[in-house]
Amino acid sequence: MIRQSLLPLLWAIAVLVATEWYFGFFNPDTIGHDYSYFFPYLLSGWFWWQENGLALPWFTPALCGGIPWFGNPQSMFFSLPQLLVLMTDPLTVSYLSYLLAGLCGFQGMYLLAGVAGIGSLPGRLFCGTAFLLNGAFLSRVMTGHITFLYMMLLPLLVWLLIHRGQRLLAPGLACGVLFAIIIHGGAGVLVVPLGLSLLLGILLADGQVRAARRLGIGLLTGLLLSLGKLTAGLALMQQFPRDLYLLPGYDGLPAALAGTALSLGWPLSAGIANDWLVNRSFYIGAEELSYSVGPLVILLALAGGWLRREQLRQWSRVRKLAAIVLLCLPIAVNTYYPLYNTWLAALPYFAQVTSVLRWNLIYLLPLILLAGAGFEWLLSHSRGRQGLLAAGLMIILIAGQWLFSGADRIPQTYNPGPVVSAYTQLSNSGDVPQVRYVEESLVDGKRLSVTGSGDSLIRGASQLVCNEPLLGYRLELFRFDKVVQGGVFARRDGAFNFYRPECLQFPDANQCAPGDRFSYEAAAGLRALTSYQRYDFPLPWWQQLANRISLLALLGVMLLAVNLGWQRLR
């Protein structure tokens, strides 16, 4: 019993701790630059919680001179990292989130490998470890993309859909809860690549109809639980359409094939990749390019594919065709030809994204599962030296991923010290710093957002030149120029020096326009906002309805979970 349950988790914890030690993800002096985006939001959420508890945090005064928050697709107030901030500082929370995400990914892959025919303990450990060390996870941890950690739920989701039990409701509800966790955790950008991976995972199941029904229950449950956030997010994104950027792609099919293959087996150099990628608005960073499972997994996957060839031949033509189409999609959408790109960029989803390289996530599970089959074949032909061979391959896997994941190529430029120190001081005092000033980040006299400028909230200030991709990577969509550096209650042109965030989120319902500031008559509302407290504003009827549906869905899921648990105990 201990061997089957405790040993794999202890192994995963050891690998995670050793990997963090090797890379130094959470060095107290410098960490990944995008932690500078999430840390101020985590602190802002902590301030809101102290003042309002679980009440919806519609807005935050901490950044941009007052902006919407709950409707931001990357907001994560209802998430585990935000909950953990109630107990410890954001740097420690990031480390704990890394450990928990890694454990979820390992355990999910461990279970999925068993369903996929990997029968031995060493084989399932190999698959779990390979997924735990995939380059996409490690590079996003290094960069500071906390919301991307939800990608580690992928194998668990697939296992819930395809495991051989006959139950539909319980696995479907569990999937729905995980879907809602992903949305509320700010990982909306992962929905499409994860969805494609789930569809591919269903093709692995013996009973596709059962898996599809579970997926249907999960999608409906997740939609209902997330409806309030989804409607708020769509309303906000209509105010800030992100169709101003080009859709990049590899310069022709040969480059797309080479780039995809290298990103899966070897750390593709950002310099080389950006030479191959055309029609891009920005330099594509290394974190967007690494999906490496390592050379060892690629070699074993080729062997595993050969060993499983008879099993794959037995698939129906429809099943084979569906798998081929799904596997070709990432290459297709990342290939650039002028007319094709013009058509693709005009489609609703593609018009709002700056890169679809993350669709390469679809390759992780099939490669690792096939590698697990190749791993088991090697062990079965080791002539009594299974333990030695398994240990050697695991060492090669771990060392290889440390060298080939590409995570060590990502610079760490953010100093978390000021936020951690402020958290400690504010925890001891119990005070919530009211926002009294608006700051403006300047570089050589120009308004530029720099790493760490968002930390101004610990000084009771709101950073006007904020780091908020929703408003454009260069704040192209936030050029109202009505709020300036100075006091929040400074009077200028008939209004205070702070934006009314409800005019950014629901302008029609509040009879105002994006960029409007608090009037002198609304001083009480401004005082509440800058103190992280609630204030009244009109909500559209459809948003009120969506919120109520999500609340009722939450109560319904809880009651169903209690009922299902009671039935199992009986």
287-344 tens-digit pLDDT = 899 999 999 999 999 999 999 988 888 888 988 999 999 999 999 999 999 999 999 9
Q: What is the pLDDT of residue 1?
A: 46
Instruction: For residues 235-257, give the mean pLDDT.
Output: 90
Instruction: For residues 20-36, give the mean pLDDT.
Output: 94
| Gyration radius (Cα) of the chain, Å | 24
Element (H, E) at 321: helix 317-333
Domain limits of the chain?
2-30+106-409
Q: Residue 129's pLDDT band (boundaries 50, 70, 90)? A: very high
Cβ–Cβ under 8 Å, residues 306 and 148:
no
Instruction: For residues 7-14, give the mean pLDDT.
Output: 93
Element (H, E) at 184: helix 169-184
Instruction: For residues 31-49, give the mean pLDDT.
Output: 95
Element (H, E) at 238: helix 208-239
Report pLDDT digits (tens) over 468-482. Answer: 888 888 888 887 778
Q: What is the pLDDT of residue 208?
A: 80
Higher pLDDT residue, 442 or 196?
A: 196
Report pLDDT digits (tens) over 200-232. Answer: 988 877 768 888 999 999 999 999 999 999 999
Angle at CA 4, nearest 5°, toward 391 and 361? 70
Q: Helix-strand-coil percent breakdown of the chain, rounded to 5?
A: 60, 5, 30
Assess whether pLDDT exceeds 80 at residue 444. Answer: no
d(CA 383, CA 359): 41
Assess whether pLDDT exceeds 60 at residue 2. Answer: no
Cβ–Cβ under 8 Å, residues 504 and 514:
yes
Cβ–Cβ under 8 Å, residues 232 and 71:
yes
Assess whether pLDDT exceeds 50 at residue 9. Answer: yes
Cβ–Cβ under 8 Å, residues 80 and 100:
yes
Report pLDDT digits (tens) over 363-386. Answer: 999 999 999 999 999 998 877 788
Q: According to the per-residue pLDDT averaged within each range, which of 187-191, 428-432, 471-475 is highest?
A: 187-191
Instruction: For residues 97-112, give the mean pLDDT.
Output: 97
Residues 6 or more apart whose CB falls under 8 angstroms from that of 59 comprise 66, 67, 68, 69, 70, 501, 502, 505, 529
Instruction: For residues 447-460, give the mean pLDDT.
Output: 87
d(CA 458, CA 469): 21
Q: Residue 404's pLDDT band (boundaries 50, 70, 90)? A: confident
The residue type found at 306 is: W
Cβ–Cβ under 8 Å, residues 112 and 205:
no
d(CA 279, CA 352): 15
Two structure tokens written together for 1: 């019993």
Instruction: For residues 380-404, give the mean pLDDT.
Output: 88
Beta bridge partners of 335: 250
Instruction: For residues 56-75, give the mean pLDDT.
Output: 94
Q: What is the pLDDT of residue 462?
A: 95
Higher pLDDT residue, 404 or 131?
A: 131
Q: What is the pLDDT of residue 354?
A: 86
Instruction: For residues 539-558, give the mean pLDDT.
Output: 96
Q: Residue 447's pLDDT band (boundaries 50, 70, 90)? A: confident
H helices of 249-294, in order, are 253-265, 270-276
Q: What is the pLDDT of residue 217?
A: 95
DSSP state of 63: B
d(CA 268, CA 281): 20
Q: What is the pTM of this model?
A: 0.95
Q: What is the pLDDT of residue 3?
A: 54
User: First-to-last CA distance in the chain?
Assistant: 24
Q: What is the pLDDT of residue 150?
A: 96
Two structure tokens written together for 260: 């995809």
Instruction: For residues 41-51, give the mean pLDDT.
Output: 94
Burial class (CB in 10 A: 0-12, 13-18, 19+), 77: buried
d(CA 98, CA 107): 14
